[in-house]
Amino acid sequence: MATNRTFTMIKPDAVANGHIGAILNDIIAGGFKIIAMKYIQLSKETAGAFYAVHKERPFYGELVDFMTSGPIVAAILEKDNAVEDFRTLIGATDPSKAEAGTIRNKYAKSIDANAIHGSDSDENAAIEGSFFFSHFERF
């Protein structure tokens, strides 16, 4: 059964390019409620642990370098069918393949610096949300 929460990060490229406000507007206009949010810079250790599922992929080192290159916004979001609807809102991993109007289509420039993260399953949404937020930072 689908749960109603997902986890997101506005990535360093989108933060550096001044898109935090526009992206949060799109998220809220898309019907998502912000449950928890923080503005932080990840260490290599933290980014490496978060993306450990991608350890064997050839771009893992680049991904960790990119995700630690500047601050990010991390958030837990709520909506019916949150995981699937949020992946639709952000668009394909490669922004050149992301549908018009999606967050990656509007604010991302490349497959690595692709503006935003969205959990890919209910299970990972719960794992990722609790990776970033302790029990007293969410409700």
Q: Which does 79 bind (CB under 5 to 8 A by kind): Mg ion, ligand GDP, none?
A: none
Q: Which is nearer to ligand GDP, 120 or 137 (CB)?
A: 120
Rule CB under 6 A: is residue 112 a binding residue for ligand GDP?
Answer: yes
- Is-catalytic flag, 117? yes
Helices H / strands E in the chain, number of each: 7, 4
Is 114 known to sit in a ligand binding site? yes
What is the rounded distance in angstroms from the CA atom of residue 53 to the CA atom of residue 6?
A: 18
The burial class, CB within 10 Å (0-12 / 13-18 / 19+), for 134 is exposed
Is 93 known to sit in a ligand binding site? yes
Cα–Cα nearest to 36, from 122, 131, 110: 131
| β-pair partners for 8 | 75, 118
Give the interface with Mg ion as residue ranges (CB under 5 A): 120
* Interacting residues with ligand GDP (CB under 6 A): 54, 59, 62-63, 93, 111-112, 114, 117, 120
Q: Which residues are annotated as a binding site for ATP?
A: 11, 59, 87, 93, 104, 114
Catalytic annotation, residues: 117
